[in-house]
Amino acid sequence: MSTMTTLETTSTGHDEGATLNRQYATFSIGPLFFGIEVRQVQEVLRYLELTPMPLAPDVVEGLMNLRGQIVTAVDMRRMLGLPKRKTGEAAMNIVVRSEDGLVSLLVDEIEDVIDVEAGNYEQAPAGLPREQREMIAGVYKLEGRLLLVLATDRVLQANFCK
């Protein structure tokens, strides 16, 4: 079942990533291996002190001061419905640009920037939990592992408080 779906989408292609080779900044969140297109990423930071935001939804980990700019930090583990990060394990910040400013995604570990071939782009596999499938724009099949392309719009455009 799932294979058929994937094949179909490959042939239809996907607007994003179907045409050109792209560079992805990759990182891991729990067992998952994710990537964001490099041009969307402003910078990658070690853990910065966060100001917690009472009453805000769980996914909002807090606010941070990025050189005078206030940036909302979103916990990707919660976004994906994964268990909480163990205390003592500092998260890494991937600061992503959007039209309305910056958002920092808290992830477990930063990995390399990699080139991928457009041809390997497929839709997110079925069978993932809904929270996760919604957050995945598509996947690239790499040697030995799947690179999940994060649907950054989901994070950037979301209004967590509604």
Partner 1 sequence: MEDQEIVTEFLIESSENLAQFELALVDLEKRPTDPNLLASIFRTIHTIKGTCGFFGFSTLEGLTHIAENILSQLRNGERRLTPDLTSLILETVDAVKRELVSIETTGKESGEGYENLRARLVQASNEKSIVEKAPVEKSVTAPPVGAGQSEAPLAALPVAGAPSVDTDVAAAESEKAGAASASHIAGFTIRVDVGLLDKLMNLVGELVLARNQIMQFNSGQENEILSGSAQRLNLITTQLQEGVMKTRMQPIGVIWSKLPRVVRDLATSCGKQIELEMDGADTELDKSIIEAIKDPLTHIVRNSCDHGIEAPAVRASKGKPAQGRLTLRAYHEGGQVNIEISDDGGGIDAGKVKQKAIEKGLVRAEDADRLSEREAFNLIFLPGFSTAEKTTSISGRGVGMDVVKTNVEKIGGLVDLTSRHGQGTTIRIKIPLTLAIIPGLVIDSGGERFIIPQVNLLELLRLEGEAGRKQIERIHDTPVYWRRGTLLPIAYLNEVLNLPANNAEAEAVNIVVVQAEDRQFGLVVDAIHDTQEIVVKPLGKQLKGLNAYAGATIMGDGKVVLILDVLGIGQKAGVLSEIREKARGDKAAADLSHEKRQTFLLFRAGRFERLAVPLSLVARLEEFPRERIERAGDKFVVQYRDQILELTPIASVLGDPLGTFTELADPTQVIVFSEGDQVAGLIVDQILDIHEESIRITKKSDRVGLSGSAVIAGKVTDFLDLPAVLRAAGEEWLSLSAKPASALRKAVLVADGSAFSRGLVRNYLELAGHPVIEAHNEADALEKMESVTVSAVVTSRKLPSLNGRKLVDEMRKRPALKEILVVELRDAGNDAAENLGGPFDAAVERFDRVGLLHTLQQMRDLQGMAQGSRVN
Which spans of this chain sit near partner 1 (rule: CB under 8 A)? 49-56, 60, 62-65, 68-72, 74, 100-101, 103, 155-156, 158-162
- Measured from the CB atom, the residue of 116 and 155 that comes closer to partner 1 is 155
Give least dist CB 63 to partner 1, A: 4
- Measured from the CB atom, the residue of 13 and 101 that comes closer to partner 1 is 101
- Whole-number Å distance between alpha carbons of 45 and 96: 11
Give least dist CB 98 to partner 1, A: 9
- Whole-number Å distance between alpha carbons of 66 and 82: 27
Give least dist CB 94 to partner 1, A: 15
> What are the start-end ranges of the H helices in the chain?
2-12, 76-79, 130-134, 152-156
Give least dist CB 68 to partner 1, A: 6
Q: What is the Cα Rg of the chain in Å?
A: 16
- Whole-number Å distance between alpha carbons of 153 and 67: 24
- Whole-number Å distance between alpha carbons of 16 and 9: 12
- Measured from the CB atom, the residue of 19 and 51 that comes closer to partner 1 is 51
- Measured from the CB atom, the residue of 12 and 159 that comes closer to partner 1 is 159
- Measured from the CB atom, the residue of 72 and 123 that comes closer to partner 1 is 72
Give least dist CB 105 to partner 1, A: 12
**Measured CA distances, 74 to 16, 19, 61, 119 (Å):** 24, 30, 5, 31
